[in-house]
Amino acid sequence: MNPARTFDYRALFDLSGRVALVVGGGSGIGQASAEALAAFGAHVVCADVHAGDAEGVAARIRAASGKATHATVDVRSTDSVEALVGGVEQEFGRLDVLLTTPAVNLRKRLLDYTDEEFDRVIELNLKGTFRVARAAARVMIKRKSGSIILMSSMRAVNVEPGQSIYAATKAGIGQMTRGLAVELGPLGVRVNALAPGIVATPLTRPITSNPAWNEAYARHCALGRWAEPEEMAGPVVFLASDASSYLTATTLFADAGWTAMDGRFEPALAPAAKSI
């Protein structure tokens, strides 16, 4: 019998010495993830289109004895994205983790969408994600290491009326994740996606502020409730860290069983057979 190898399992989630860029880090899932990555030792660059929000989150991290700086970025602009990532590389000489979250959801039935509205959703959700991933990957491959985390959604596989275009972007991000992972794997860079379910963020406020709509969504998932943004931070830290070192090209669903549920009606079941 071979002796067991000595392995420090507690170090799997340690991000000390690593640089993590969180795009969309000024609120919601991005904010919670930025704070969590810093709590596990990373120096976090919190970037957002709203400069004040990014600055506030970075200050909050530093107040909790973490390491953080802030930056402004608009993922609809290639120049803005390239300047952000180039600045990170220039300041730190490396980029170990990328999380990008910005998205918009324009709830309209497909036949009512205008070309301009379609372009707006695609431009931010899909092309914005592409811009950030491309820029980060170009830095990571220089050191042959890194973890890229893209933001998909349970809507990538489960859609309702009024969400067709948003869902299409999230499904596209899932395939982009797989393609990037295949291309970047030989260069030492992992690419995965996180697909949240219903999370109480500024994006979903129109739903959570409507009691009937809020309750209907809560009933649809197996846990019977909405997630808080902080509940997405654990999966993000996992995907960023060595705990997921053999994971790439995967979409991790953190949806409380939403995509496993079949409708909202719970039928009566036959009584269990008596044991003999």
Q: Which residue has the tokens 């042959």?
A: 144
On whether the CB atoms of residues 258 and 158 are closer than 8 A, the answer is yes
H/E run at residue 150? strand 146-151
Which value, to the nearest 10 degrees, does the dihedral of the CA atoms of residues 97, 77, 196, 147 take? Answer: -20
Catalytic residue numbers? 166
Q: Is the dihedral of CA 124, 210, 54, 239 positive or negative?
A: negative
How distant, in Å, are the alpha carbons of 74, 135, 151, 177, 233 from that of 84?
9, 9, 19, 21, 23
Q: Which residues pair with 148 in a beta bridge?
A: 98, 191
